[in-house]
């Protein structure tokens, strides 16, 4: 229902800013005084007294990745929810998430997501669209986590190969006489952006099928008589997203609001596509979203629908909800003995930042691939940069630090590959800025930068050495990899002729064992390795001249 929809200017946002800057004891009193001093703000600062007008607040998050107390955190978020609802006197509210919430930190992974689910239940989330990383513990575990969190899992495009819905598709909630309908979609990239073993037997649909599913959801919700239609989508809006939320909005009419995740995009309040307002809050609790909706029951129309993005700086002085904080503290205390065990020390920072590991080699990547060789006694080890999720700072190294770096519980496997297959994987894997960017040990690779219009920058292999000798194309080598890559993750389609030899423990276990055994010697060695050499045109001309002379 889009008739009469208006957008508010910055005035409506001011009341939220005032909430954050007020003192804890007299918040509402101070806000009232400030409002009187400012005069009438542009839009609705408090709920309407007209009984035919319904006011609704929607609080939303996306891509938190298990960071329950990172940046804003759930305790402040919950306090803000309570305060904003009290101030606006809205008839009701919804708390929604657009995916990637159950996984990504030691707090989350130690308990396979249940710790996060317990926090979500206390915060009071209503619904979420699962993100690709929410499948990291397996598709059945996701169902269990939804039950613990008491949240509706909405993924209308996720079905079994028999065509049956795997999770929920849509959800309706009545608030003050207004009916709100929600449906969810999950990115089809999930099949390669979680371990493919986690989604065996599931289909996520083509673009055409997902658009058709969204149209069907709108039709179903309209037939159920809803007044407002909201799409929860873990699809993304950046150029790397295979199917974007903006694509859905442009092809599907009558969606009033899309709350998006996956691409970690921070929208400056919102975008409008085909009459649909689209919003997203970035990543890691750096922002939260609030959408205020006012609906006229008599006129049967939305009067106002206004998205706001609230930053962690604006919530800096916001207090923490005591119940949520106590739940987080209790869980952390229970996990302390596991996560705080010291396994070694480092005199240098071990670099695992996303901008580093997706664009080149780092000392942490070298340490990890060396640990894989140590664990398996393989000839060569390979790992995708997307596996490495954090850095380790100077000082003591704890198990918790390692789990921050390697939260996915990927196992190491060994396969037999020819030199030709290895070169093919290297050329496929050296894509700059991609999660598939390849880190390796046991090889010395020379490559050149290739930049082509319409394609991501990449490195093309010029030469490969193994044991200081050219790699033999027909010779077979024992290669250690993670099971994510072997299963086809990050589009690594492994050749059927790559024979699986053996399975080992997890990457985090291998790294812990390696650091315990070799300590700072291993770290210093990793810091000195340079096994990916990028040649410039000048270098190649110089080498050619040396040969000619």
Low-confidence spans in the chain with pLDDT less than 70: 1-49, 268-269, 495-498, 541-549
Q: Quick: pLDDT tens for 313-344.
A: 989 889 999 999 999 999 999 999 999 999 99
- Helices 73-88 + 114-123 axis angle, to 10: 20
Residue 75 maps to a domain: yes
Q: Quick: pLDDT tens for 498-515.
A: 688 888 889 999 999 999
Residue 33 maps to a domain: no
The distance of Cα 483 from the centroid of its chain, to the nearest Å, equals: 20
Token duo for residue 354: 């996303």
CA distance 296 to 299: 5
Same domain, 358 and 291: no
pLDDT for residue 240: 76
**Residue ranges in 199-316 assigned as alpha helix (H):** 207-223, 245-251
Same domain, 272 and 406: no
Q: Is 30 helix (H, G, I), strand (E, B) or coil?
A: helix
The distance of Cα 456 from the centroid of its chain, to the nearest Å, equals: 21
Element (H, E) at 380: strand 380-384
Same domain, 350 and 294: no
Residue 11 maps to a domain: no
CATH number at residue 151: 3.60.21.10
Report pTM.
0.80
Which of 198, 100, 192, 97 shows the shortest CA–CA distance to 141? 198
Same domain, 324 and 386: no
Last-in-domain residue among 334, 368, 390: 334
Same domain, 289 and 389: no
Residue 455 maps to a domain: yes
Residue 424 structural domain? 341-547
CATH number at residue 532: 3.90.780.10
Last-in-domain residue among 334, 359, 392: 334
Last-in-domain residue among 334, 361, 376: 334
CA distance 449 to 458: 6
The distance of Cα 417 from the centroid of its chain, to the nearest Å, equals: 32
Same domain, 214 and 329: yes
Tally of structural domains, the chain = 2
- Residue 158 dihedral angles phi and psi, to the nearest 5°: -95, 115
Same domain, 232 and 162: yes
Same domain, 61 and 177: yes
pLDDT for residue 519: 87
pLDDT for residue 122: 99
Same domain, 351 and 291: no
Residue 37 maps to a domain: no
Is residue 258 within 8 A of residue 99, CB to CB? The reply is: no
Same domain, 193 and 215: yes
Element (H, E) at 56: strand 53-61
Those residues whose C-beta lies under 8 Å from the C-beta of residue 450, and which sit 6 or more positions away, are 457, 458, 459, 460
Same domain, 392 and 308: no
Question: Which neighbouring-strand residues pair with 534?
Answer: 447
Same domain, 382 and 482: yes
CA distance 241 to 261: 11
Is residue 407 within 8 A of residue 106, CB to CB? The reply is: yes
Residue 150 maps to a domain: yes
Those residues whose C-beta lies under 8 Å from the C-beta of residue 196, and which sit 6 or more positions away, are 484, 487, 488, 489
Q: Where are the beta strands (DSSP E) in 226-350?
A: 228-234, 257-261, 271-273, 276-279, 287-296, 301-311, 342-346
Residue 323 maps to a domain: yes
Residue 351 maps to a domain: yes
């Amino acid at each position: 229902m889009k008739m009469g929809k208006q957008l508010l200017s910055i005035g409506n946002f001011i009341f939220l800013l005032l909430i954050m800057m007020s003192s804890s004891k007299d918040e509402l009193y101070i806000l009232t005084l400030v409002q009187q001093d400012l005069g009438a703000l542009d839009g609705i600062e408090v709920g309407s007294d007209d009984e035919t007008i319904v006011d609704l607040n929607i609080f939303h998050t996306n891509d938190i990745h298990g960071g329950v107390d990172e940046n804003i955190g759930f305790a402040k978020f919950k306090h803000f929810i309570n305060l904003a609802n009290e101030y606006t006197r809205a008839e009701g509210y919804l708390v929604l998430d657009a995916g990637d919430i159950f996984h990504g930190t030691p707090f989350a992974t130690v308990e396979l997501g249940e710790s996060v689910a317990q926090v979500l239940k206390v915060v009071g989330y209503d619904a979420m669209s699962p993100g690709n990383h929410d499948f990291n513990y397996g598709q059945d575990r996701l169902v269990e986590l939804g039950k613990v969190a008491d949240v509706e899992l909405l993924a209308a495009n996720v079905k079994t190969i028999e065509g049956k819905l795997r999770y929920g598709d849509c959800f309706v909630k009545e608030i003050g006489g207004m009916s709100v309908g929600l449906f969810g979609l999950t990115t089809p990239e999930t099949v390669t952006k979680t371990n493919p073993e986690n989604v065996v037997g599931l289909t996520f649909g083509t673009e055409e099928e997902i658009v058709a599913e969204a149209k069907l959801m709108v039709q179903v919700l309209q037939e159920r008589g809803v007044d407002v239609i909201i799409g929860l989508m873990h699809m993304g809006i950046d150029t790397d997203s295979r199917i974007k939320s903006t694509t859905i909005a442009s092809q599907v009419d009558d969606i009033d609001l899309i709350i998006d995740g996956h691409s970690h995009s921070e929208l400056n309040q919102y975008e409008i596509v085909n009459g649909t307002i689209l919003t997203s809050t970035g990543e890691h609790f750096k922002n939260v979203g609030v959408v205020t909706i006012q609906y006229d029951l008599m006129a049967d129309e939305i009067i106002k629908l206004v998205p706001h993005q609230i930053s962690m700086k604006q919530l800096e002085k916001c207090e923490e909800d005591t119940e949520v904080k106590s739940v987080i503290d209790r869980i952390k205390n229970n996990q302390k003995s596991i996560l705080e065990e010291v396994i070694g020390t480092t005199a240098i920072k071990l670099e695992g930042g996303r901008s580093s590991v997706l664009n080149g080699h780092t000392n942490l990547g070298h340490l990890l691939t060396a640990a894989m060789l140590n664990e398996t006694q393989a000839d060569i080890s390979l790992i995708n940069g997307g596996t490495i999720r954090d850095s380790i700072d100077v000082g003591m190294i704890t198990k918790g630090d390692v789990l921050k770096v390697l939260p996915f519980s990927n196992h190491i496997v060994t396969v037999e590959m020819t030199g030709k297959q290895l070169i093919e994987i290297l050329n496929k894997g050296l894509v700059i800025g991609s999660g598939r960017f390849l880190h390796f040990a046991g090889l010395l690779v020379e490559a050149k930068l290739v930049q082509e219009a319409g394609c991501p920058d990449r490195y093309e292999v010029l030469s490969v050495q193994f044991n200081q000798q050219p790699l033999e194309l027909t010779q077979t080598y024992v290669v250690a990899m993670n099971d994510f890559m072997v299963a086809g993750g990050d589009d690594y389609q492994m050749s059927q002729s790559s024979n699986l030899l053996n399975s080992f423990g997890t990457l985090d276990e291998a790294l812990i064992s390696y650091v315990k055994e070799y300590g700072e010697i291993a770290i210093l060695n990793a810091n000195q390795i340079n096994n990916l050499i990028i040649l410039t045109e000048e270098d190649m001309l110089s080498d050619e001249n040396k040969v000619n002379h």
